[in-house]
Amino acid sequence: MPRYALTIAYDGTDFCGWQKQEPLLPIAGDDRPGDQAPSRPRESKLAAAEPLEVREGEDRARVALRTVQHVVEQAVIGVVREPVVLMGASRTDAGVHARGQVGAFTCGGEGEATGWPRSRGSDRLLRAINGRLPEDVLVTACSEAASDFDPIRGATSKAYSYTLHVSPPPPRGEGLRPLWDRRYVHHVWEPLDAGAMGAAARAVVGEHDFAAFAAAGHGRLSTVRTVFSCGVTRLEDAAGAQRLRIDITGNGFLWNMVRIIAGTLVDVGRGRIEPDAIAGILASGDRRLAGPTLPPTGLCLEWIRYGE
């Protein structure tokens, strides 16, 4: 049975993140303990037109929220005409974008009425899947993978970027907020010291305990991670505003880790945190000492790399 690997890009604005979510159908005005769904569901983000079947032991149906995993998995099922499970490498949050998410699935092969035989070729599979996807998600590459390929455990490094639109209000700046690409940048009104931010970024490189840069409830047994590189680059200015991009690579990231690092670097740029304070924040393990968690808007999963 062939296994296929997909490289997936998406605009995360209208998705509830990568991972499939099937919360209980909410009852108007009823916020029951343990109910995962909000009391007023965001109809635009419901992937299922009809509720799912009521499961044994539950008094209500569930709904499939609009997630990237669900949407791409349904497109694959429509092509191969059999149930598949699409495994993704990184569980990006709602609103986070990706250029290089990696997913994998296994389906039937030669001599079967369903599936996708190797003889048909991965290029045709790519075109067939894309033909069933909405405009905000695209499979950019498709290839056959080893039968035991695991996009999560096999990953050796990942890269994220966080883009800032810096436009101080008058008289220090023109005060223009982003318009055309507002979904992909985070707007900062205060001027930022990019040099100080770069110095602070270099301090997070290496193997550290990143407990101070992880959201509560991250669910990981260990908060030790290795950051291979972290830097701040000035991009071409847009609409009279400064553009800065934070790029970070590592062997893995904790929940909200990149967004908290970005928020800490922004506070350094504002002068609220000294660049040489990063080492102390890391050593403390105290989330309260780090900067804020920036919104998902400016965050993008750039690529994921594997061994051979």
Strands, E assignment, the chain: 3-10, 87-88, 97-106, 137-145, 155-166, 186-188, 206-209, 224-238, 241-250, 299-306
Rounded Cα–Cα distance for residues 18 and 47 (Å): 13
Answer whether 109's CB lies under 8 Å from 115's CB: yes
Which residue numbers are catalytic?
Answer: 93
CA atoms of 288 and 52, how far apart (whole Å): 41
Tokens of residue 288, six digits:
């309260």
Cα(242)–Cα(203) distance, rounded to whole angstroms? 24
Any idea what the Cα angle at residue 177 is, between residues 172 and 179, rounded to 5°? 150
d(CA 167, CA 193) in angstroms, rounded, equals 13
